[in-house]
Amino acid sequence: MKEEIMQLKEQVVELLENKQYSNLHDYIDKLNSQDISIMFEELSKEDMIRVFRLLSKDEAAEVFSYMESDLQEDLINLLTDKELKNIVDELYMDDTVDLIEEMPSNVVKRILNGVNQKDRKLINELLNYPEDSAGSIMTTEFVDLKMNMTVDEAFTKIRKIALDKETVYTCYVLDTRRKIVGIVGVKDLLIAQPDVVIKDIMETNIVTVNTLDDQEEVVKKFDKYDFIALPVVDKEDRLVGIVTVDDAIDVLQEENTEDFEIMAGITPSEDSYFKTSIFKHAKNRILWLLLLMISSSITGSIIIHYEEAFAALPLLVAFVPMLMDTGGNCGSQSSTMIIRGMATDEIKLKDYFKAVWKEIRISVIVGIILSIANGIRIVVQYNDLQIAIVVGITLILTVIFSKFLGCSLPMLAKKLKLDPAIMAAPLITTIVDSCSIFIYFQIAIAIMRI
């Protein structure tokens, strides 16, 4: 993929150097907007603006909307006010809002200067939706129809406004108070006779989200129902925007990345890996590391508490890493299954006892197998049946306990309206560690009388 872009770049630079602007114009005209935006990252600023000015008005806006925000900023600083206005005019409303959110205030000022009164009001409204809400990711451009329009009239309306709308394939039927009363797809319009009234072919069973709903809710609805757009309504049930499926995919990826990061004990960040400074990376990681370091020191203190036991039998210490790692891995397996199950809506809070009961039965099976495997190893390696029994019992208890925690803590977090992903491997590992080491030495003392 990357090589193709490098080839494009070389071709473009060559045409630029030879001042073959007409050829260059024809060449870039054939390219994908996305590919051009990626190529721009490889060009010098001077070359970028020269190429950009060769793009047609709508192509320029499209390329612009795909660019990374730092590159957008560079480009804006090179554009005249008139050129900037042209681009902003062509941008879809949600892309304009995204742009304003990313830019420093002097750039925002220049952008808003070129926007008319009505759009500026709308932009302000959109900017006020909470981060990660349906309102913040929706676009306000959609096709609205009326119930008593005919199919023919509907097509006339769609034709008239299609150019400016991101998607026209789902049309929304509104009543006089802008409440949504039906949905009709262009496919249904195509199949219907021209004189049929919209009311008779529209689908009245409508799935909507509220402007304040979390974007995760939006994505779940896209996952469940196979939509290409989802209507967003305000508190009075009036249609205010739609979320398109391509934005839903972006959100889905973003939410998944966030879960991966939180589950690895990283403060999530929306910036990309290479564009984040090492200090920011360090900051995102250090908090959890410090927290977990302190809690794992408790495990250390527990070990020291049993100094006499392992002074009498140093071999005891040899099984500490295995018990810690196995407990951590078992807990991590369970918490991952539960966190993921809740994220995809398969596991619900009311399933708690069902899930715990399942995890306990699984952990008994897993624990027994591990104990036997480990017992054989200990007897063969150290010829010490007593230690094999101590380690075996501890192992079974550790596995059960860690899988119980791995199942319970994420669901507890959800119950407390926290992100279940917090209760993942790192945290569970440290808790399980202390407990398994405590159990281990207690059992050792009891059985081996040391």
Please list every residue from 149 through 168 that binds its own copies, using CB under 8 A: 155, 158-159, 162-163, 167-168
Q: Alpha-carbon torsion 268, 274, 280, 282, what sign?
A: positive
Residue 222 is a binding residue for its own copies (CB under 8 A): yes
By CB under 8 A, name the one of 127, 311, 385, 446 that touches its own copies: 311
Q: Which stretch binds its own copies (CB under 8 A): 75-83, 85-93, 257-265, 408-416?
A: 257-265
Residue 2 is a binding residue for its own copies (CB under 8 A): yes
Contact set for its own copies, span 91-110 (CB under 8 A): none
Q: Which stretch binds its own copies (CB under 8 A): 40-48, 208-216, 218-226, 438-446?
A: 218-226
Contact set for its own copies, span 258-297 (CB under 8 A): 259-261, 263-266, 272-274, 278-279, 281-282, 285-286, 288-290, 292-294, 296-297
Q: Which stretch binds its own copies (CB under 8 A): 43-51, 72-80, 186-194, 234-242?
A: 186-194
SS3 state at 150: strand
Cβ closer to its own copies: 84 or 299? Answer: 299
**Token pair of 63, please?**
């390329």
Amino acid present at 201: I
From residue 190, give the alpha-carbon distance in Å to each of 29, 144, 151, 152, 187.
31, 17, 8, 10, 5
By CB under 8 A, name the one of 320, 422, 443, 448 that touches its own copies: 320
By CB under 8 A, name the one of 7, 120, 325, 415 that touches its own copies: 325
Contact set for its own copies, span 342-401 (CB under 8 A): 344-348, 350-351, 354-355, 358, 361-362, 365-366, 369-370, 373-374, 377
Residue 250 is a binding residue for its own copies (CB under 8 A): yes
Q: How far is the CB of 48 from its own copies (least distance, A)?
A: 20
What is the CA angle 220-225-231, rounded to 5? 80
Q: CA torsion, points 400, 403, 404, 405, in degrees to nearest 10?
A: 130
Q: How far is the CB of 59 from its own copies (least distance, A)?
A: 12
Residue 231 is a binding residue for its own copies (CB under 8 A): no
Strands (E), 298-363: none
Q: How far is the CB of 377 from its own copies (least distance, A)?
A: 7
DSSP codes, 160-211: HHGGG-S--SEEEEE-TT-BEEEEEEHHHHHHS-TT-BHHHH-B-----EET
Q: What are residue 242's DSSP bridge partners?
A: 139, 231
**Token pair of 31, please?**
């390219």
DSSP codes, 358-385: HHHHHHHHHHHHHHHHHHHHHHHHH--H
